Chain A
Amino acid sequence: MIYREAGQFKTTYTADQAVFPIVQDRWFIAAVAFLALGVPFVANEYWLQVVLIPFLLFSLAAIGLNLLTGYTGQLSLGTGGFMAVGGYMTYKITTAFPDLNILVVFAAAGLISAGAGLVFGLPSLRIKGFYLAVATLASQFFLGWLFNRVGWFYNYSSSGTITAPPREILGIMVTGPEATAEVRYYVALAIVTVMAVAAKNLVRGRIGRSWMAIRDMDVAAEIIGIRPFRTKLLAFSISSFYCGVAGAMLVFLWLGSAETEAFDIVVSFDVLFMIIIGGLGSILGSFLGAAFIVLVPVLLTNAPQLFGLTMAIDLQKHIEVVLFGSLIIFFLIVEPNGLARLWQITKEKLRLWPFPY
Chain B
Amino acid sequence: MKLRNLTLSLVGLSLVGAAAGAAGSLVTTAAFAQAEQFFPMLVYRTGPYAPSGIPVANGFRDYYTLINERDGGINGVKITFEECETKYNTKLGVECYEKLKNKGPTGATLVNPFSTGITYQLIPKAPVDEVPILSMGYGRTAAADGRVFEWIFNFPATYWSQASAFVRYVAQQEGGEANLKGKKIAHVYHNSAYGKEANATLEVLAKKYGFELTLLAVDHPGQEQKSTWLQVRRLKPDWIFMSGWGVMNQVAVKEAAAINYPMDHFVGNWWSGSDADVIPAGDGSIGYKSTAFHGAGTGWPVHQDIIKYVYGGDEAKAKENNIGEVLYNRTIVNAMFGVEAVRTAQGKFGNKPLTGKQVRWGLENLNITKARLKELGMEGFMKPLKVTCRDHETGGSVIIQQWDGKKWSFSSDWIPPISEVVRPMIEEAAAAYAKENNITPRSC
Asked if A299 is at the interface of the complex by the 8 Å CB criterion, the answer is yes
- The residue that B141 contacts in the complex, of A158, A256, A258, A334, with Cβ under 8 A, is A158
CB closest chain-B residue, reference A264 = B220
CB closest chain-A residue, reference B193 = A159
The interface bits of chain A over 336-357 (1 if a CB of B lies within 8 angstroms of the residue's CB, else 0) are 0001001001100100000000
Q: Which of B7-15, B294-302, B397-405 contacts A (4 or more CB under 8 A)?
A: B7-15
| Cα of A298 to Cα of B100 in the assembled complex, Å | 14
Asked if A47 is at the interface of the complex by the 8 Å CB criterion, the answer is yes
Given contacts A50-B99, A163-B437, contact A158 B199 (CB under 8 A): yes
| Cα of A327 to Cα of B20 in the assembled complex, Å | 15
Contact call A259/B192, Cβ cutoff below 8 A: yes
| Cα of A299 to Cα of B27 in the assembled complex, Å | 11
Contact call B23/A160, Cβ cutoff below 8 A: no
Asked if B31 is at the interface of the complex by the 8 Å CB criterion, the answer is no
Contact call A302/B85, Cβ cutoff below 8 A: no
Given contacts A261-B117, A262-B90, A298-B23, contact A327 B12 (CB under 8 A): yes
Between-chain CB contacts (< 8 Å), 21 pairs: A44-B28, A46-B98, A50-B99, A149-B217, A163-B120, A164-B124, A165-B436, A165-B437, A166-B437, A296-B16, A303-B19, A313-B45, A313-B84, A313-B85, A314-B85, A317-B46, A317-B85, A331-B9, A335-B6, A335-B9, A342-B6
Task: Tell me the chain A residues, 145-186 only, with Cβ under 8 Å from chain B.
Answer: 148-149, 158-161, 163-166, 176-178
Contact call B6/A349, Cβ cutoff below 8 A: yes
Extra contacts besides A158-B197, A259-B90, A259-B193 (10): CB < 8 Å = A49-B94, A159-B196, A176-B124, A259-B120, A259-B192, A295-B20, A302-B27, A312-B45, A342-B10, A342-B13
Contact call A49/B98, Cβ cutoff below 8 A: yes
Asked if A131 is at the interface of the complex by the 8 Å CB criterion, the answer is no
CB distance from B217 to the nearest CB of A (A): 8
Asked if A306 is at the interface of the complex by the 8 Å CB criterion, the answer is yes
| Cα of A165 to Cα of B439 in the assembled complex, Å | 11
Contact call B124/A255, Cβ cutoff below 8 A: no
Given contacts A46-B98, A163-B120, contact A316 B12 (CB under 8 A): no
CB distance from B99 to the nearest CB of A (A): 6
The interface residues of chain B, by DSSP majority, are classed as helix
Asked if B371 is at the interface of the complex by the 8 Å CB criterion, the answer is no
| Cα of A316 to Cα of B438 in the assembled complex, Å | 42
CB closest chain-B residue, reference A148 = B191
Contact call A46/B99, Cβ cutoff below 8 A: yes
The interface bits of chain B over 179-222 (1 if a CB of A lies within 8 angstroms of the residue's CB, else 0) are 00000000000011110110110000000000000000100100
| Cα of A45 to Cα of B102 in the assembled complex, Å | 10
The interface bits of chain B over 1-45 (1 if a CB of A lies within 8 angstroms of the residue's CB, else 0) are 011011011101100100110111011100000000000000101
Asked if A257 is at the interface of the complex by the 8 Å CB criterion, the answer is yes
Asked if A17 is at the interface of the complex by the 8 Å CB criterion, the answer is no
Asked if A95 is at the interface of the complex by the 8 Å CB criterion, the answer is yes
Asked if A305 is at the interface of the complex by the 8 Å CB criterion, the answer is yes
**Chain A residues with Cβ under 8 A from B20's Cβ?**
295, 299
Contact call A316/B437, Cβ cutoff below 8 A: no
Asked if A97 is at the interface of the complex by the 8 Å CB criterion, the answer is no
Q: How large is the interface on B (under 10, 10 to 19, 20 to 34, 35 or more residues)?
A: 35 or more
**Chain A residues with Cβ under 8 A from B140's Cβ?**
159
Contact call A161/B193, Cβ cutoff below 8 A: yes
Asked if B91 is at the interface of the complex by the 8 Å CB criterion, the answer is yes
Task: Tell me the chain A residues, 245-300 only, with Cβ under 8 Å from chain B.
Answer: 255-259, 261-262, 264, 295-296, 298-299
Interface residues contributed by chain A, number (CB under 8 Å): 54
Asked if A318 is at the interface of the complex by the 8 Å CB criterion, the answer is yes
Asked if B382 is at the interface of the complex by the 8 Å CB criterion, the answer is no
The interface residues of chain A, by DSSP majority, are classed as helix
Asked if B305 is at the interface of the complex by the 8 Å CB criterion, the answer is no
Task: Tell me the chain B residues, 89-136 only, with Cβ under 8 Å from chain A.
Answer: 90-91, 94-95, 98-99, 116-117, 120-121, 123-125, 127-128
Contact call B16/A334, Cβ cutoff below 8 A: no
Contact call A158/B85, Cβ cutoff below 8 A: no
**Chain B residues with Cβ under 8 A from A317's Cβ?**
45-46, 85, 87
Contact call B19/A306, Cβ cutoff below 8 A: yes
**Chain A residues with Cβ under 8 A from B171's Cβ?**
none
CB distance from B292 to the nearest CB of A (A): 23
Contact call B120/A158, Cβ cutoff below 8 A: no
Given contacts A46-B99, A259-B117, contact A305 B26 (CB under 8 A): yes
Contact call B27/A44, Cβ cutoff below 8 A: yes
| Cα of A303 to Cα of B438 in the assembled complex, Å | 41
CB closest chain-A residue, reference B84 = A313
Asked if A330 is at the interface of the complex by the 8 Å CB criterion, the answer is yes
Which residues on B are within 8 Å of A, measured CB to CB?
2-3, 5-6, 8-10, 12-13, 16, 19-20, 22-24, 26-28, 43, 45-46, 50, 57, 83-85, 87, 90-91, 94-95, 98-99, 116-117, 120-121, 123-125, 127-128, 140-142, 191-194, 196-197, 199-200, 217, 220, 429, 436-438
Given contacts A163-B436, A261-B90, contact A256 B45 (CB under 8 A): no
List 6 tightest A-B contacts by C-beta distance, closest first.
Answer: A177-B124, A314-B45, A159-B193, A302-B23, A334-B5, A158-B200
**Chain B residues with Cβ under 8 A from A296's Cβ?**
16
Contact call A159/B194, Cβ cutoff below 8 A: yes
Given contacts A158-B196, A296-B16, contact A177 B121 (CB under 8 A): no
The interface bits of chain A over 16-56 (1 if a CB of B lies within 8 angstroms of the residue's CB, else 0) are 00000000000000000000000000001111011000100
| Cα of A177 to Cα of B28 in the assembled complex, Å | 23
| Cα of A95 to Cα of B437 in the assembled complex, Å | 10
CB distance from B374 to the nearest CB of A (A): 35
**Chain A residues with Cβ under 8 A from B83's Cβ?**
313
**Chain B residues with Cβ under 8 A from A264's Cβ?**
220
**Chain B residues with Cβ under 8 A from A342's Cβ?**
6, 9-10, 13
CB closest chain-A residue, reference B140 = A159
Contact call B10/A346, Cβ cutoff below 8 A: yes
Contact call B121/A255, Cβ cutoff below 8 A: yes
**Chain A residues with Cβ under 8 A from B197's Cβ?**
158-159
CB closest chain-B residue, reference A144 = B219
| Cα of A87 to Cα of B20 in the assembled complex, Å | 30
| Cα of A296 to Cα of B23 in the assembled complex, Å | 11
**Chain B residues with Cβ under 8 A from A298's Cβ?**
23, 95
| Cα of A317 to Cα of B26 in the assembled complex, Å | 19
Given contacts A176-B124, A313-B83, contact A306 B6 (CB under 8 A): no
Contact call B27/A314, Cβ cutoff below 8 A: no
CB distance from A96 to the nearest CB of B (A): 12
**Chain B residues with Cβ under 8 A from A95's Cβ?**
436
CB distance from B430 to the nearest CB of A (A): 12
- The residue that A334 contacts in the complex, of B9, B43, B90, B436, with Cβ under 8 A, is B9
Task: Tell me the chain A residues, 36-79 only, with Cβ under 8 Å from chain B.
Answer: 44-47, 49-50, 54
Contact call A177/B23, Cβ cutoff below 8 A: no
Contact call A166/B192, Cβ cutoff below 8 A: no
The interface bits of chain A over 296-334 (1 if a CB of B lies within 8 angstroms of the residue's CB, else 0) are 101101110110000011101110000000010011001
Contact call A177/B125, Cβ cutoff below 8 A: yes
| Cα of A305 to Cα of B27 in the assembled complex, Å | 10
